[in-house]
Structure 1
């Protein structure tokens, strides 16, 4: 189900609130584009995502979202990729058709559950958040959370004190808490544990 914030945004969009629509566009365009680009050419991916938002705006008065905005939007873009694959089949040779089938299978596997959508979305947001960190802070955070090093090991590797390592990690986590305040702490912690294993 949509969150309370999503329901409020949805209600504003239904009423024709352009600012609410721009907010949704700004929040999801890049993620949807990166997703579509895994399966189709960049220009086509951009067209699919723009069409997705255009259709949403045109049909805003009767818009119904039973899951999350994320699930709804990713599913619309997924379906556009599928339709494209179906059209391409008619003009491709056997070898190209095999590659197309592989892309379809990958897309189907990737989109089959809300879990896949969530992981893709979190991955993208984590990369963007890390990019906002100062270089040394980002390096320490990566060593800690993704390479599994202890603070002492990081200090030795990067030639800094343990206290400095702790300071960098604390700074990074504060930014992550701010950037992911709309997400369940439980889901986010599960994702990080998965990446640390």
Structure 2
């Protein structure tokens, strides 16, 4: 089954099509969510909510479109809602206001592959050890303790590397978001 066929069948409440799309997109949604949400339980809740929303809004899907952009929007919004206290409040308000003012057209939305490439380019700017710690945590889902053991460093050092890496990523992604808003 290909993506378009799965979307068409999902619109008709086909659970097998939903399962196919879930298995296909879970890794992408998980990876994107884990860039922002450190707590595993919170990340899993967000990921589940993304797919619940997909099911709830299945009748509205565009059969000829791609789910990447649609799932990106849902995931981004759930992450913003989940962690708004950690964001700069004014930036958060501006983003929400603009999101409400604009109607989203999935075809015009940022392509998830481009965003993934951009995030990878930011990660590659990190110092080598921070990069290694970050990738072990987010791409290999190792705990801080497992990373510390694997790299033979203290857990505090792992926490420091992750904190600095996440701070750098958030700063650069915010700048990118602001740039995109200014381009509209």
Q: In terms of Rg, which structure is larger? A: 1
| TM-score normalised by L of structure 1 | 0.43
